[in-house]
Amino acid sequence: MSKGNKEHKTRKFRLALIDNSTHKQLWTVHFTKTSLVITSVTTLIAICATIYSLIAFTPIRTFIPGYPDAHSKRAAIQNVITIDSLENVIYRWGIYSENLKRVLSGMDPVKLDSIINAIPAKPKTEADMKRLQARDSLLRENVIEEEQFGISDRDKRNLPVEGMHFFSPLKGVISQGYDPIDHPYIDITAPEGSVVKSVLDGTVVFAGWNKDAGYTIQIQHDGDVISIYKHNEKLLKKTGDKVSAGAPIALVGNTGSETTGAHLHFELWYKGEALDPTSYINF
């Protein structure tokens, strides 16, 4: 009976590190079978998680044989695009060959309209219709904006800049000439209050105040030409106004922080590049 009443004792183990010469105990740890299993499983899980994180979230994964790197992915995408282009070329050549065969046989060639109509159209969902309506609204807004400022290319004759007749914006003395690097514009000195004129027909796309340039006016002309007039004392036109060549647009002044006297800062741009105004205008 005494043996049956004895409590079951948990067997404990000890792992020790002992110096062989002095028999001094350097390190020891006590554990049971349960704690050993839990510790081993936890350590194994931690090691696996660390290895997975290194492979999944660091460039180390590129060293795995067969794993595609960034260059391989770009090459694969480019290959897909090339294959799609080749398929279109082959399809066009197939149509060409078929039409050539029909013409040589005295038959009517295949019309592209009939081929397009033969392709079943995919039904548009409500989301597709909303997306198309949104794109149509944006297109309409762009057209209205272009018509507002008169910068649409429709019904316009695009002449080269050499064939345009420029009016002089101001009769005065050029105090600082054009330099393509340091000074891609010119400064024209004239008495304060002198009339500044538009060099071509166009539309005012900006008329307002700038801290550095003072009262500034910008005009969009046909043929991708833009003229800019800075440091004015007063503006005679506002944004959206139509102006004719030679029409008064401002008065010479000394406004803005980047000026030391009454003069006109004049810029002439053609297709995004600055031009030397003295090559086209007599001042």
Q: Output the pLDDT for position 209.
A: 93
User: Do 175 and 274 lie in a common domain?
Assistant: yes
Q: Output the pLDDT for position 149.
A: 56
Fill in the DSSP letter of residue 27: E
Q: Output the pLDDT for position 79.
A: 83
User: Do 185 and 232 lie in a common domain?
Assistant: yes
Q: For 16-33, b where at least 16 C-beta lie within 10 A, e where not — what string? A: eeeeeeeeeeeeeeeeee
Vertex 36: Cα angle to 30 and 38 (nearest 5): 130
**What gap in Å lies between CA 88 and CA 116, rounded to an integer?**
14
User: Do 77 and 36 lie in a common domain?
Assistant: no
User: Do 53 and 111 lie in a common domain?
Assistant: no
Q: Structure pTM?
A: 0.47
Tell me whether residue 186 is in a domain: yes
Vertex 266: Cα angle to 263 and 272 (nearest 5): 160
User: Do 180 and 260 lie in a common domain?
Assistant: yes
User: Do 175 and 238 lie in a common domain?
Assistant: yes
Indicate the helix (H) or strand (E) that contains 75.
Answer: helix 70-104
Domain of 183: which CATH number?
A: 2.70.70.10
**168 close to 197: Cβ distance less than 8 angstroms:** yes
Q: How far is CA 19 from CA 15, 16, 26, 86, 203, in A?
A: 14, 10, 7, 76, 95
Q: Output the pLDDT for position 154.
A: 47
Tell me whether residue 192 is in a domain: yes
Tell me whether residue 177 is in a domain: yes
Q: The domain containing residue 243 runs over which residues?
A: 166-279
Tell me whether residue 181 is in a domain: yes
Tell me whether residue 142 is in a domain: no
**Residue 5, beta-bridge partner list:** none
Phi, psi (deg, nearest 5) at residue 206: -155, 135
**What gap in Å lies between CA 213 and CA 207, rounded to an integer?**
12
Q: How far is CA 109 from CA 93, 105, 117, in A?
A: 14, 10, 16
**What gap in Å lies between CA 252 and CA 6, rounded to an integer?**
113
| Neighbour tally for 123: CB within 10 Å | 6
User: Do 264 and 191 lie in a common domain?
Assistant: yes
Tell me whether residue 170 is in a domain: yes
| The total number of structural domains that make up the chain | 3
User: Do 86 and 44 lie in a common domain?
Assistant: no
User: Do 112 and 189 lie in a common domain?
Assistant: no
Tell me whether residue 63 is in a domain: no
The per-type count for the chain, helices as H runs and strands as E runs, is: 5, 12
The contacts of residue 230 (CB under 8 Å, 6+ apart) are: 210, 213, 214, 215, 216, 256, 264, 265, 266, 267
User: Do 16 and 75 lie in a common domain?
Assistant: no
Q: Output the pLDDT for position 155.
A: 47
Residue 242 DSSP SS3: strand
Q: Output the pLDDT for position 201.
A: 94
User: Do 82 and 17 lie in a common domain?
Assistant: no
* Per-residue tens of pLDDT for the chain, all 283 residues: 445 555 556 778 888 888 888 878 888 888 788 888 898 899 999 999 998 888 777 777 767 766 666 677 677 778 878 887 788 788 778 877 877 777 777 777 666 555 555 555 556 567 767 777 777 777 767 666 655 555 555 444 455 777 788 999 998 899 999 998 888 999 999 999 999 999 999 999 999 998 999 999 999 998 889 999 999 999 999 999 999 999 999 999 999 988 888 999 999 999 889 999 998 898 8
Tell me whether residue 222 is in a domain: yes
User: Do 100 and 183 lie in a common domain?
Assistant: no
Residue 220 DSSP SS3: strand
The contacts of residue 167 (CB under 8 Å, 6+ apart) are: 197, 198, 199, 200, 245, 246, 281
Q: Output the pLDDT for position 118.
A: 53
Indicate the helix (H) or strand (E) that contains 131.
Answer: helix 126-149
